[in-house]
Amino acid sequence: MDLHASYPALSDVKARARRRIPHFVWEYLDSATGNERTLARNREALDRVLFEPAVLQGPVAPDLSCRLMGRDYALPIGISPVGMSGLIWPDAERLLARYAADMGMPYGLSTVASQTPEYVGPCAGDQGWFQLYPPGEPDIRDDMLRRAKDAGFHTLILTVDVPGPSRRERQTRGGLVQPPVLRGKMIAQAAMCPAWSLGTLRHGMPRLRFIDSYMKPGGLLPSNAHAGYLLRTSPDWAYLQGLREAWDGPLVVKGILRAEDAAKMAGFGVDAVWVSNHAGRQFDAAPATIEALPKVRAETDLPVIFDSGIEGGLDVMRALAMGADFVMLGRAWHYGLAAFGAKGLPHVAEIFEKDLIANMQQIGAQCLADLRGRAFV
């Protein structure tokens, strides 16, 4: 079956994904917080970024390869850490990690994944990045770092844009709790999605296995205030300095929207900054990431990673043109898994690759470096 014939765009994959997973899972994957205006702003702001088409350029065969933090990649995209990936599709963390290893692209494992670093790390090969929601206790922090490093994760992501739980009202209305328990209408929803249900029966209901190893058993918690919040702290600059001293590999700080924050990062030994508004899931009054990106780019010489709102290769092109060095995708890969299982991952990658090439050809860009400065708003 040629998936491109029936599902040529990410929107097509997304529509199929919605039909194949229970409603409460969909609400977890696809929702944001508040009235979801930050989610909408991400899309609206990306759509305002335009390019002038070029003519009479002769043949254009774009080279999509890039270099980030001393490593070469065939495509300028990677897999963002997403909490509870295994809820969205059974065994998602390992499926994603294996695909990243096969493709040679970064894979980020979340602190609040449904699997542990020890379980996922061997699948990621040398492409593993570990995302840290900062625990308050130094001993727990150090043990988490040790476990991630021992499992083969070489790059650490410190997420700094979650000072406290966001409300995520749509997700809450979906009925999800932590740890996930099927009850009431959720049972009926699961029964309508046999592939998801059979996979979940085979692998077991997902839970925060890494976090649970540091917690005593307790009752059910709202899905937006899970056990991870009981461990984490809201980090400050001293925390960042201590983390830099404790971790001997590349360190990326995720959740940067202010230029003045980006300007300080090099002085703390940070290796890259990640412009993100948590895809609209954290603060409904945040600016669109593409609006913040040029200001951040102007204040740092560090590599700049970008996420939030990306729905195709054209959006990747927009981000690269506005100052990003690399783009990470979260929801997109999970739409692919939910729609087609493991074979959805290469299909999503091909959608982005084909779309990026097609749009670069329209402006005569032979390589990614040709994009810088070509966009306007």
Cis peptide before 81 (omega within 30 of 0): no
pLDDT of residue 226: 56
Residue stretches of the chain with pLDDT short of 50: none
The 10 Å Cβ neighbour count of residue 208 is: 25
pLDDT of residue 65: 98
To the query of whether residue 278 is one of the catalytic residues in this protein, the response is yes
Instruction: Look at residues 272, 263, 258 and name the one whose alpha carbon lies nearest to residue 325.
Output: 272
Q: Are 368 and 63 in contact (CB under 8 A)?
A: yes
Its pTM stands at 0.95
pLDDT of residue 225: 58
Instruction: Look at residues 356, 333, 358 and name the one whose alpha carbon lies nearest to residue 10.
Output: 333
The answer as to CATH 3.50.50.60 being correct for domain 3-376 is no
Out of 154, 278, 334, 347, the active site residue is 278
Give dist(CA 20, CA 246) in Å, integer. 43
Give dist(CA 199, CA 369) in Å, integer. 43
* β-pair partners for 376: 50
Give the single-character DSSP code of 120. Answer: H
* Region of residue 347 (left: phi > 0; alpha: psi -120 to 50; beta: else): alpha
Instruction: Look at residues 348, 279, 349 and name the one whose alpha carbon lies nearest to residue 307.
Output: 279
The 10 Å Cβ neighbour count of residue 229 is: 17
Q: What ranges do the domains of the chain cover?
A: 3-376
Percent share of the chain, pLDDT over 90: 90
pLDDT of residue 233: 86
